[in-house]
Amino acid sequence: MKDTSYSDAQHLAERVRDTMFATDRCAHAMGMEVTAVSPGHATVAMTVREDMLNGFGICQGGLIATLADMAFAYACNSYNELTVASGFDVDLLGPGKPGDRLTASGRVVSQGSRMGVYDIEVTNQSGERIAVFRGRSYRMKGKQVVT
């Protein structure tokens, strides 16, 4: 008999991603795409556009934090639990320059019955680390997708 637990969990994570992304206005407005998802993991990418630049000519730090937060959201909801952020810390380590392709990769560190901890790393197209983000999640009642 074939073990389908991983493929079932992967399929569910993909359904959650598709359901969330369909109505994710922020991700669409910022040109973000969810490039990968699996149980407890997500990768979200965006290209730094001219309208994302601050007065120093680099990507506004809050937008980099938003990219990381998106990877966090997709990673912690990938289990089909209705999960929200309860807090996060972000360290901006380098600039996002015009035209840079930034990628936020998030993974579960710890997931309990109500609280979770996730680490997200934001890199540019050269693999240089732009930011690190640690998010804390809170699981509410309900599901993202009806199964």
DSSP state of 114: S
Report the alpha-carbon distance of residue 37 to residue 59 in Å, rounded: 25
The model's pLDDT over 99-146, given as tens digits with 9 standing for 90+, comes to 999 999 999 999 888 899 999 999 999 999 999 999 999 998 888 776
Give me the pLDDT at residue 112, please.
Answer: 85
pLDDT confidence bin for 1, thresholds 50/70/90: very low
Give me the pLDDT at residue 146, please.
Answer: 66
Q: What is the mean pLDDT of the chain?
A: 93
Instruction: Say yes or no to pLDDT of 62 above 70.
Output: yes
Closest CA to 102 of 142, 68, 51, 146: 68
Please say whether the dihedral angle defined by the alpha carbons of residues 35, 84, 27 and 89, taken in this order, is positive or negative: negative
